[in-house]
């Protein structure tokens, strides 16, 4: 807050501590002097008085109940009204969306024979539908990279799947992977960094954090390399980390190291689709 003629404006913490009655008497008095003179701070005080009002009206209680039910049960997000298009269009879109959801649902049932029962299964299900980037997450099945089709285009309503993840008690690693699949890198990194600090964090966690650093296209590329190396130290046969380490060297313009890592990868995984992709990349580098 800017300085005013009536002194420094109050922080939100001071305002709520004033309401609580927890301020030191001298600070309380100074705050009152300021609040009498500063309309802006008094309005902010009023905002918190309204926000923290412990009385909950019937209408508010019902609304909270509805939201809580939505949080607990919904898996798909309905289109949000923007006010720009007529109502009939939204009804058509709603019907189309419902049909699309039904088709996707049937597809999932046909593919999986069962709905995911854990947060880990949700992530695996999403990974089986899309490959979000070149680098490889732990337990990621091989899919070709389709660059023109984003994850959101696949019709997956991530907002509410996230709620489902929370309901299924997803741990930090799973939440990090989930946000990584949406390419929400800052959120993904926050969760994965938590997972990394946990006791017993394995090669998979280090690998996925490395992917988040590398694909976020930010200043943390070097940290990605460290995480991949850390993963390989933990488990020298952890294929995704070796694959990613090779990619990392490609991206940091050290082709000789990239070649060495691709060769290492092909040695212990020559036949899978990942192995074939590694071989193709190696051939491109040595051409």
Footprint of another protein on this chain (CB under 8 A)? Answer: 12-13, 16-23, 28-29, 32-33, 35-37, 39-40, 42-56, 58, 60-61, 63-68, 70-71, 74, 77-78, 80-81, 159-160, 162-163, 166, 169, 171-172, 187, 190-191, 193-194, 197-198
Nearer of residues 57 and 144 to another protein, judged by Cβ: 57
Q: Which long-range contacts (CB under 8 A, 24 or more apart) does 49-53 make?
A: 49/19, 52/16, 52/19
Instruction: Report in angstroms how near the CB of residue 110 gets to another protein at its nearest.
Output: 29
| Percent composition of the chain: helix, strand, coil (DSSP 3-state, to 5) | 65, 0, 30
- Cα torsion angle, 170, 174, 180, 186, sign: positive
d(CA 38, CA 11): 13
Q: What's the min distance (Å) between Cβ of 137 and another protein?
A: 20
The kind and range of the H/E element at 178 are helix 172-181
CB of 40 to another protein, least distance (A): 4
Q: How far is the CB of 62 from another protein (least distance, A)?
A: 10
Q: Looking at beta carbons only, is 162 or 258 nearer to another protein?
A: 162
- Nearest to 7, CA basis, from 43, 36, 49: 36
The span from the CA of 247 to the CA of 233, in Å, is 17
Nearer to another protein, 28 or 251 (CB): 28
Q: Of the two residues 1 and 106, which places its CB atom closer to another protein in the complex? A: 1
CB 185 within 8 A of CB 218: yes
Residue number with CB closer to another protein (192 or 232):
192
């Amino acid at each position: 807050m800017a300085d005013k003629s009536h002194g420094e404006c109050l922080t939100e913490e001071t305002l709520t501590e004033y309401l609580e009655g927890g301020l030191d008497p001298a600070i309380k008095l100074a705050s009152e002097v300021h609040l009498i003179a500063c309309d802006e701070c008094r309005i902010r005080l009023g905002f918190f008085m309204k926000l923290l009002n412990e009385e909950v009206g019937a209408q508010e209680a019902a609304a909270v109940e509805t939201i809580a039910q939505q949080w607990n049960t919904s898996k798909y997000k309905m289109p949000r009204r923007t006010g720009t298009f007529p109502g009939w269009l939204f009804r058509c879109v709603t019907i189309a969306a419902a049909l699309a959801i039904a088709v996707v649902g049937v597809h999932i049932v046909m593919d999986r024979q069962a709905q995911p029962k854990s947060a880990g299964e949700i992530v695996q299900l999403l990974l089986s539908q899309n490959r979000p980037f070149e680098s490889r997450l732990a337990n990621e099945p091989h899919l070709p990279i389709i660059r023109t089709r984003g994850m959101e285009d696949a019709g997956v309503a991530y907002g509410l799947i996230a709620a489902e993840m929370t309901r299924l008690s997803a741990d930090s690693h799973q939440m990090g992977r989930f946000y990584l699949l949406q390419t929400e890198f800052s959120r993904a990194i926050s969760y994965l960094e938590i997972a990394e600090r946990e006791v017993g964090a394995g090669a998979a966690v280090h690998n996925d954090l490395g992917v988040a650093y590398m694909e976020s296209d930010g200043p943390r590329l070097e940290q990605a390399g460290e995480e991949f190396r850390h993963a390989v130290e933990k488990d020298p046969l952890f294929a995704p980390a070796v694959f990613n380490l090779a990619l990392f060297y490609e991206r940091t313009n050290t082709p000789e190291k990239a070649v060495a890592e691709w060769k290492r990868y092909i040695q212990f995984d020559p036949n899978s689709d990942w192995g074939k992709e590694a071989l193709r990349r190696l051939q491109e580098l040595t051409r």
